[in-house]
A and B are shown apart, each in its own frame.
Chain A
Amino acid sequence: MTGLDILDQISEAVVDFDAARAERLCGEAIAQGVPPYEVITGGLAKGMDVVSRRYEAGEYFLSELIMAGETMKEALRVIEPHLPKGAGETRGTIVVGTVQGDLHDIGKNIFANLARGAGFRVIDLGFDVSPKVFADEVEWSRPDLFGMSALLTTTMTNMGDTVAELERRGLRGGVKIIIGGASVDQAFAKKIRADRAVRDAVEGVAVCKQLMGG
């Protein structure tokens, strides 16, 4: 079996939500000497691209996006111990969380899984995260990207407070900010001085890739 074959098969396993097969094939690829980062980008991420395209085309639904994300998460567990320590060979680092007062984290969780599968290093702060906690993490981890999510119109204002906190602490310039959630749009992103608003997890990952230069 060649390296190319096995990566294609990994991609197929993601598309089929077959976690057991994806895990087994990732293990085999690494044993064959395929570099771990290539297993992610050439295998898992390729599969996720197919799933994302089908989702955008209306052929796959949220439940399938979650399943593909779960499949990737499980396969990544096999690969992670083999990855070089530190950020090194990743597409970039993203800090994510749901804003203060908001417990709605389903979209954010899907995004985090997809972003990991796309080769990003993701630091997930969970939900109900205060502006201070976000800013502390950005200061410590110095991520390339920072993503916030809010479902409610009553909590989306906390996104603005978080951006203001980053500005106050001189951290805003070093990070691109994307926001997501049912209530946000580009006009709101502009108003709070975030870089982009995204409609869903799939668009979120595409925008992150774009912001990192492709």
Chain B
Amino acid sequence: MNPRERVTAALSHEEPDRPPIDLGGTVSGIHNEAYTSLVRHLGLGLPTLIDPRDVQQLARPDDSVLERLGVDFRHTALRTVPGPGGVGVDPTSGRMSFVDEWGVKWGRNPHYYDMIDHPLMNAKVDDLDNFPWPDPCDPRRLDRLREEVRRVHNETELALQADAFYGGIYECAWWMRGFETFTVDMYRRPEFTEALLDRILDLYLGFYDTYLDEVGPYLQVVDYNDDIGMQTGPLISPVMFRRYLKPRYKRIFDLIHSKTRAKLFLHSCGSCYPFIPDLIEIGLDVLNPVQPLAANMEIGGLKREFGDRLTFHGGIDIQRLVPYGTPAEIESEVRRVAKVGGAGGGLILAGAHNIQGDTPPQNVLAIYETAKHLKRRDAAL
């Protein structure tokens, strides 16, 4: 099977020759420090390409590295439009900082960026009218996008995944407002909460419209990212999820499904277990990152309960196992996840989030060397 056929089979719940493998994008990528170590370990004289304003500081892996690791996907992304004010030093913290196009201020730390200011922290409903919102139709977002995607589609047999842009509507709301303030908004200021989420929703619908008009026909997977979980459980109560987020997610999911035959992928960190039936009901196809140390997110249980309706993407623990385990332990876990999650298709193997900077290259290789040599019987047993 070629990679695209393998991915298509897995997404259609048919068992491919081995589970497809992913590395790349914004939620199954690799931090630039780990990538640099990997490239050095492999003896490849390749530079580490990185967007200096990428808040996660992920590498953009070279095709030759992805090929060597047996990765079945290539990722594409709507281009980021710079925010006002460019890059400078934040006078309060002394950190290198920039303001993104939503007005959120980010400050550099040694490994990533942290949010250091929220533009709507003190806003009232009326202030939303005067805020300089991003323009989904800005032509800079599509710069060479179609060419890039057509090249992968026409000249390779790889699968294509369209990465999400920014956070989801929930994240975007609290990034602009501050986490605690937005949490209190949901309970005490429902009118403001609805108004803010509606603004963001309209823009997101515009973003997906622009994006999928350009690349929709070439894709196997389209991402929507919104962190609604944490390690021990959901970040937000099911009541609030169903009141504020679910109906708006449905609008986004419906739009995506109307514009492409690609499968719809949701990334949420942590435990989103109580919301999974709701997400399936509104059209979710692929759940990422299946973070094994988060509550109720172990692949075995999820496969038993939802495996007939969902494909799982991720599954390999990057919080403890991959940075701190041995290559032998990693190999054994990759085999276990493939066996438990891959029977009958419905599994794409990847780290259960980006591989972190302090991960030894031998451990990164252990994931991919094991995964690319898996056979159908490894999953079917």
Contact = CB atoms under 8 A, between A and B. Distances in A.
Given A103-B109, A109-B180, A200-B232, A154 B240 contact: no
B357 interface: yes
A104 B107 CA distance: 13
Given A67-B183, A67-B187, A101-B110, A62 B323 contact: no
Contacts of A66: 180, 183-184
B234 A61 contact: yes
If over half of A's interface residues share one DSSP class (helix, strand or loop), that class is named, otherwise mixed; here it is: loop
Given A103-B114, A154-B110, A63 B183 contact: yes
Given A61-B237, A62-B235, A63-B236, A153 B358 contact: yes
A30 B323 CA distance: 55
- By secondary structure, the B interface counts as mixed
A128 B187 CA distance: 30
A181 to B, nearest CB: 10
Contact of A61 (B93, B231, B233, B358): B233
Interface in A48-73: 58, 60-64, 66-67, 70
A83 interface: no
A60 B183 CA distance: 14
A199 interface: yes
B179 interface: yes
Contacts of A199: 232
Interface of A: 17, 58, 60-64, 66-67, 70, 101, 103-104, 106, 109, 128, 152-154, 182-183, 199-200
Given A61-B235, A103-B107, 20 more contacts: A58-B233, A61-B236, A61-B238, A62-B183, A62-B230, A62-B236, A63-B183, A63-B236, A63-B240, A66-B183, A67-B183, A67-B184, A70-B184, A101-B109, A101-B110, A106-B179, A154-B111, A154-B357, A154-B358, A182-B231
6 contacts: A60-B237, A63-B187, A66-B184, A70-B180, A109-B180, A183-B319
A82 B235 CA distance: 35
B116 interface: yes
Contacts of B109: 101, 103
A213 to B, nearest CB: 28
B302 interface: no
Contacts of A60: 237
A128 B358 CA distance: 21
Contacts of A101: 109-110
A106 B233 contact: no
